[in-house]
Structure 1
Amino acid sequence: MKIAFIIPKLINEAPVIVVRDLINQINDKVVSIDIYYFDDVDVKEINVANNCYKISFLEGIDFDNYDIIHSHMLRPDLYILFNRHKIKKAKCVSTLHNDIFKVLKDSHNIFVAFIVEKLWIKALNSFDSVVVLSESMKSQYIKSITKVPLSVVFNGRDFPNSFESEIEDADVKSINLLKSQYKLIGVSARIRKIKGFSQLIKVLPFLNEYALIFVGDGDEKQTLIELAKELNVLDRCLFLGYRIDGFRYLKFFDFYAMTSYSEGFPLGLLEAAQNKLPVFCSDLPVFRELFDESEVSYYHLNDIESLKYSILKLENNKEEFSKNLWTTVMNKYSLKKMGKNYLDLYKKLIY
């Protein structure tokens, strides 16, 4: 089996991390894997051993040299739509990583979200198979992606035993200074409005024994800093900025926060679980589908009193929560299982 993956760029973001992890899982089980991407980055953040080729949107590839062409995200999916008439033999697969409308509304505006969602759905309906990340996503899109079978494949994540780079001394010093005075609630993610991190700032005045660490950058960062100043809690917030392999910092956290307004599949939660951290979550259907109330502590979105209660509940039962969550993640959401599910899908399409 020969496979081509098409991605926007080799950047350290969730969909590309999933592609890298998937390739690492199936590399020795197929004949060959090639990776195509559109944009260069200043620093190559994702390393793979396979051949990587930069292409332009208007440049074709030898599509039928492959058995499977697997694209991820908007431009690669549109690229397949644009070239669909040239693809005779290869089977085309797309993985939909998030709620299209909500993510585009967060990053752009409601008008852009409406128009682009229509175009993206049209592209997805031209594929041979579309993968979504949960049953809740499937129930959402089954009414609009009508010409293509929808499959559910859960993401997986394995926590590495060692890291290529050490954490900078300045970061360690700043974190340990805060940790010596407070219990640390941490996140490792892009700082965007859709992640709901403002809720963490708003609850902090009611939790005097806690502090926050943000590993990541994004357009919402300055807004959070201003909010922390307004609520007089900036001294208990540490904004480290973007760090490659942000999961290296999990060992410093006491709790992990998932406060999203929308989420495709919570890779950060899997990383936290494998680091045996207790986690509290917003009450999203996707989280409810994946984890029960013995594994994470839930709260109602935008309800600061509910958020406070969920954190205190987690504090009082953190060993039990972290143990239950770790067990579930290791048994249900491993990379090995994700790799097998995708291979089974590929084989079903071509044999």
Structure 2
Amino acid sequence: MKRIKVAFFIVSNGLGGAEKVLLEIIKRVDKTKYEPFLIVNNEIKDYYAAHVASENIFSLGNIYPLLNSSLAQRIIIRARPFFDISKLLLLSKVKSTYCFLKSNNIKIIHSHLMYDFLLSCSIREIDKSIRFIYTLHGFLNLKKENELTYVIKHKTFIKKLSNADVITCVSPQIETFMKESYPSLSSKLITITNGISDSLFNHNFRLDLEKSSLKVNMNKFSFLFIGGDKSVKGGILLVKAIKLFENNPALRDINFEVFFAGPYLNDSPLICQIKNDRYLSTKIKLLGYLDPIKMEEIYSKVDFLIMPSLSEGYPLAAVEAVNNGIPVICSNINAFKLMFDERFLIELSSKAILLMMSKLMTDNVYRSDFISSFIDFKVSVWSELIVSYEEIYCKSNQ
């Protein structure tokens, strides 16, 4: 049987939720029916290379040329010239990318992020016969400092999005948001049930309240923060909140620790503050980047995940944590409002974080109510996600 060829587009400077979702799709799609191809930048090519035949990979080269400089990561990456350079490098690859697709007779392309979206749109404008699938991994953030504004203007993005034949949403909340905000795109939207790897995160999530009540007698509470020194993840607010414990006599003796996971620069101001402060260095354990195996080990050690994020798309870290039986302390941004009980979402301030952490460690009733709010949170396995995409690829090939 002739296999359906699908080219997956991914251009990114790191490994987040969208990148993980794509990897699982490539790994798990039925290889007897579908032949995966990959259009990818050099910075993350190795992450996928083991799962795609080498002759099926088209490298876009280094699209993020400034990332190897720590100075660039601290300063230039937040400036418009960085995005302009990367966009120019990427769009210079349109012709060669199209030639690769044409030479391999590929008629279906599947894009996931913002830069590869631009590349996919350019390809589609050249050849209307190519079927274009785009996955929305999160809510559109319209703040001026958001990457969307730097890469492509919002109105232009919505206009180009109409080029897609299918727009998949990783949660029903995102589909609802898109239908209400952009009715003209409604006919293209499909909710794809988001899943968590059933090889690593195969626990049937059901919080054991009796077990949680035993925590009253434990000597130490453990929190997990994932975000490294990225300001958008709220690490600065969390560190300020932890410091407030030291300055409050009523809370100073509460025994807790915070595992600080995610990539960071050793000389970033936030990391230097943690390392050079006697109190913070005893409370915060710097872990750096953790692969999925190590993440599972950490989940077995912590009581809560804390996400004081300033912005999130679809927060995969929260879903993974809940699937492992770990309740999540979240900021009151839209992404979390549509996922969890709003009664327990916190304001974006160090005092609000302090209050939530202290209540969970000292108030047994409040902690029990908080944990109970997660019991009905449902997470599916990857098999549902893959079946849905395979059906879309099959229809797109007809």
Same fold per TM (> 0.5)? Answer: yes
Instruction: Provide the secondary structure at the position in 2 that maps to 1:105.
Output: coil
Larger-gyration structure (1/2)? 2
Q: Which residue of 2 aligns with 1:168?
A: none
What's the % identity of the aligned pairs? 21
Query: What is the distance in 2 between the residues matched to 1:160 and 1:221?
Result: 36
CA deviations over 1:4-52 (Å, ceiling 9, x no partner): 21111695322111001123332257332222213245x8234642225
Query: Distance in 1 between the 2:295 and 2:317 partners?
Result: 8
Give the whole-Å Cα distance in 2 for the aligned partners of 1:123 and 1:220.
40
Q: Distance in 1 between matches of 2:42 and 2:368?
A: 44
Which AA in structure 2 matches 1:5? F
TM-score in terms of structure 1 length? 0.76
- Specify whether residues 314 and 339 from structure 1 end up closer, same or farther in structure 2 by C-alpha distance, changes over 3 A only: farther
The 5-angstrom pairing of residues 1-351 of structure 1 reads 1-8=4-11, 12-28=15-31, 30-41=33-44, 44-46=46-48, 48-51=50-53, 52-56=56-60, 57-58=93-94, 59=96, 60=98, 61-63=100-102, 65-101=105-141, 105-106=145-146, 112=150, 115-142=152-179, 143-144=181-182, 146=184, 149-158=188-197, 160-161=199-200, 182-204=220-242, 205-206=244-245, 208-218=254-264, 222-225=268-271, 228=274, 232-245=279-292, 247-248=295-296, 249-292=298-341, 298-315=344-361, 316=364, 325=374, 328-329=377-378, 332-351=379-398
Larger mean Cα displacement after TM superposition, 221-230 or 76-85 = 221-230
Q: 1:215 to 1:303 in 2, by over 3 A?
A: closer
Query: For the structure 1 residues 346 and 309, does the alpha-carbon distance in structure 2 shift closer, same or farther, using more than 3 Å as the test?
Result: farther
Contact 2:124 2:132 in 1 (8 A): no
RMSD: 3.7
Per-residue displacement from partner, 1:265-298 (whole Å, max 9, x unpaired)? Answer: 12111221232222211223332323336xxx72
Is the alpha carbon distance of 1:66 and 1:247 closer, same or farther for their aligned partners in structure 2, counting shifts above 3 Å?
Answer: same
Matched residue SS, 2:46: coil
TM-score (norm 2): 0.68
Pair 1:288–1:348, CA change in 2 (3 A):
farther
Distance 1:221 1:285, change over 3 A: farther
Gaps of at least 5 residues in structure 1 are 163-179
CA deviation profile, 1:245-281 (whole Å, cap 9, x unmatched): 3524322322111221222212111221232222211
Taking structure 1 as reference, are residues 70 and 242 closer, same or farther at Cα in structure 2, changes over 3 Å only? Answer: same
Verify the 8 A CA contact 1:212 1:237 in the aligned structure 2: yes
Query: For 1:307 and 1:326, how far apart are their aligned partners in 2?
Result: 23
Q: Distance in 1 between matches of 2:20 and 2:149?
A: 29
Which blocks of at least 5 consecutive residues in structure 2 are unaligned?
A: 61-92, 202-217, 246-250
SS of equivalent residue, structure 2 residue 111: strand
> Which amino acid in 1 is paired with 2:302?
F
